Amino acid sequence: MGLLSDPNRRRALISMLTRLNAPICVVCYMAGVAWFMGLAFEPFTLRTYMSENAMGSTMVEERFPAGERALATGREFAAHKKKVGGMPVDWLVKTMQSQGLEVFTQRFSRTLPFPDENKERYVVEGTNVYGILRAPRAPRTEALVLSAPCSPGNNNNQAVGLLLGLSQYFRNQIYWAKDIIFLVNEHDLIGMQAWLEGYHHTNTTGMDWSPLQGRGGSIQAALSLELSSDVITSLDLVLEGLNGQLPNLDLANLFYAFCQKIGVLCTIQGKLQRDDWDTASGYSHAVQTMMLMVLKQASGRPWGDHGLFLRYHIEAASIKGINSFRQYKTDATTIGRLLEGMFRKLNNLLERLHQSYFFYLMPSLSRFVSIGYYMPAFGLLAVILLLRALDLWVQLSALPSRTEDGIADIEQVSQTHLGVLSVLTPLVISHLTGVALYTLPIRSQEMAVEHFPVFETEAVVLTAIAIYTAGLALPHNTHRLVSGEGTEQGWRVLKLVAVLYLAVLLGCTALINFSLGFILALTLVPLAAFITPHVPKLLSALFMVLLSPGCTLFFSIFFFQELQETPVNLQEGWVLFLSVISQGILDHSLYGSLVYPLVALLVYPCWLLFWNILFWK
């Protein structure tokens, strides 16, 4: 309490913090970035280990024999799919029934707010088929899910084949203590959303679906399988779910353990792990893997069909089979064994997966960084905001005490009133702009299509960009409406409010989705720290626009493509940028992803406040 009550020591500390404010901020920023880059360095990371006792010590033996037969079933499925021109519901029902599963179907339909050009769909109608294998060994209170998507074209036929092969094999085993649900979902995530909402009796997005006729117990874990070739070279694990949520790390550990045991090459973000951490190329490989995870997580999109399970407190991951030009191939029997092994271990669970971490980043499949290690990187950036706020506070409280006669005091009082008013106006106006950015693009698409030669999707995206840019023109006339001119104190108060606002906003974002919070902090914090009305206008304006959330997204796309080793030029990048925006809006209205409303309603208005300060007159 000494620091809080001793005025002398307080004064010393505060004067040091205000005197050295700028250098401390620069050091903090660099330390934050360095810390983050250090996370990928192997000696600083932890090796993954299985925390869950129920999955650790128990040995299971994998015996799945029927890979070839599964592939044949897959081919049969493909033929029927082609014949029907969509999901072969009857055939699937018949096949599953003949295996002795309880089979049910669910119909669903959804009209998207605007056409999805990536997947070429607008009015979506489809059917999910699922079969339940009832647990013979236990009361049917818990369940596991294995799902495979029914995709258009020739994709994922082998996945459905393997799913059916596994269901037949599992049916003949007696050790199941949890119901196993085999789900074939149509229209990827939309079907999954319908099924999950039906299963849990919720309706968050206003979708039409028929209620489920049969249910298992509460779902403990789910795996989603994507497989498009008869043999594969490696399996890729996808963890990132809706809003950057990740499954318990034990699920990744389980996958890794079985890959090691069976001898299948396994990757995360499509990258193998390497042993040469002490070389530059090894380190950069780890950084690339981690950055890919950060970017994917920050996008807030579900990166596989498993992504929506996480919302219901179900640990889930997608497993993708990848067939590259590598010599060594793995056949379907081996993949089947791997899945069998994973399911048997999950079957042994006594309670939900909770022992291991939920907040982590993975620089390789065998290494992870937990929340305690990565949060300081964000903390160092957030401290800058607090230091700036403290500095502003000291400046503000120093101002009135300089004038001590009564007349000056009264002026001060009236100034504070104006200060409050001149803070409130920009706050309200920038938030209204945010609300416009959030609501108008979808609302006004019809009007835009009528008046301009564009398609609906383009209309939505371009309206969003137009509103975003129009927001920049606002500050020139916001506070003049209220008071003739802004005061020196006025912008300080506004900046204090804006800096604290940004700090709280980024803090909350980083807790829910670390990657998003960190990327936003990386770009917004320097801007928040240095902006005043007295810096060179044009240069700073350019700098601010470059660091605005929209441009951050634009750069992230290039960076992401670069990391994926599919670099794009400016033109392609722009097209991709447009499609990413439309996907973001669609993800919000279809699955309830929070990134678009977060950016439109909170981050963008906050950025506008700083823009306002720059043009304070």
- Give the three-class secondary structure for 267: strand
**Judged by CB under 8 A, does residue 164 bind other proteins?**
no
How far apart are the two ends of the chain, measured CA to CA in Å?
Answer: 42
Query: How far apart are CB 243 and other proteins at their closest, in Å?
Result: 8
- How far apart, in whole angstroms, are the C-alpha atoms of residue 344 and residue 257? 13
- Give the three-class secondary structure for 480: helix
- Tell me the two tokens of residue 258: 């079985």
- How far apart, in whole angstroms, are the C-alpha atoms of residue 194 and residue 16? 58
Contact pattern from residue 502 through residue 541 relative to other proteins, giving x for each residue in contact according to CB under 8 A and a dash for the rest: -xxx-xx--xx-----------------------------
**Judged by CB under 8 A, does residue 246 bind other proteins?**
yes
- Cβ closer to other proteins: 10 or 451? 10
User: Which of 4-12, 57-65, 197-205, 267-275 is the region at the interface with other proteins (rule: CB under 8 A)?
Assistant: 4-12
Strands 121-133 and 179-186: antiparallel
- Cβ closer to other proteins: 8 or 327? 8
- How far apart, in whole angstroms, are the C-alpha atoms of residue 266 and residue 322? 10
**Judged by CB under 8 A, does residue 8 bind other proteins?**
yes
Site for other proteins in 33-92 (CB under 8 A): none
Query: How far apart are CB 501 and other proteins at their closest, in Å?
Result: 9
Burial category of 476 from C-beta neighbours within 10 Å (exposed 0-12, middle 13-18, buried 19 and up): exposed
**Judged by CB under 8 A, does residue 10 bind other proteins?**
yes
Please identify which residue in 361, 389, 493, 581 interacts with other proteins, judged by CB under 8 A: 389
> Which value, in Å, is the radius of gyration of the alpha carbons in the chain?
28
User: Which of 3-11, 206-214, 268-276, 572-580 is the region at the interface with other proteins (rule: CB under 8 A)?
Assistant: 3-11
Contact pattern from residue 448 through residue 487 relative to other proteins, giving x for each residue in contact according to CB under 8 A and a dash for the rest: ----------------------------------------
Contact pattern from residue 187 through residue 226 relative to other proteins, giving x for each residue in contact according to CB under 8 A and a dash for the rest: ----------------------------------------
- Cβ closer to other proteins: 130 or 368? 368
Query: How far apart are CB 37 and other proteins at their closest, in Å?
Result: 25
Strands 265-268 and 218-226: unpaired
Please identify which residue in 31, 54, 177, 386 interacts with other proteins, judged by CB under 8 A: 386
- Tell me the two tokens of residue 406: 């009564």
CA 158 to chain centre: 28
Site for other proteins in 297-326 (CB under 8 A): 310-311, 313
- Residue 412 zone, left/alpha/beta (φ > 0; ψ -120 to 50; rest): alpha
Query: How far apart are CB 358 and other proteins at their closest, in Å?
Result: 3
The count of C-alpha atoms lying within 13 angstroms of the C-alpha of 210, restricted to the half-sphere facing its C-beta, is 11
Beta carbons of 229 and 252 less than 8 angstroms apart: no
Beta carbons of 237 and 316 less than 8 angstroms apart: no
Beta carbons of 492 and 392 less than 8 angstroms apart: yes
Provide the H-helix boundaries in 273-347: 280-299, 332-347
Please identify which residue in 41, 122, 373, 393 interacts with other proteins, judged by CB under 8 A: 393
- Cβ closer to other proteins: 164 or 353? 353
- How far apart, in whole angstroms, are the C-alpha atoms of residue 400 and residue 378? 35
- How far apart, in whole angstroms, are the C-alpha atoms of residue 512 and residue 60? 36
Contact pattern from residue 413 through residue 442 relative to other proteins, giving x for each residue in contact according to CB under 8 A and a dash for the rest: x-----------------------------
Name beta bridge partners: 266: 235
Nearest C-alpha neighbor of 449 from the set 441, 459, 457, 440:
459
Query: How far apart are CB 246 and other proteins at their closest, in Å?
Result: 8
**Judged by CB under 8 A, does residue 172 bind other proteins?**
no
Contact pattern from residue 326 through residue 365 relative to other proteins, giving x for each residue in contact according to CB under 8 A and a dash for the rest: --------------------------x-x---xx------
Query: How far apart are CB 515 and other proteins at their closest, in Å?
Result: 14
**H or E stretch at 617:** none
Binding residues for other proteins, rule: CB under 8 A, are: 4-8, 10, 245-246, 310-311, 313, 352, 354, 358-359, 386, 389-390, 393, 413, 500, 503-505, 507-508, 511-512
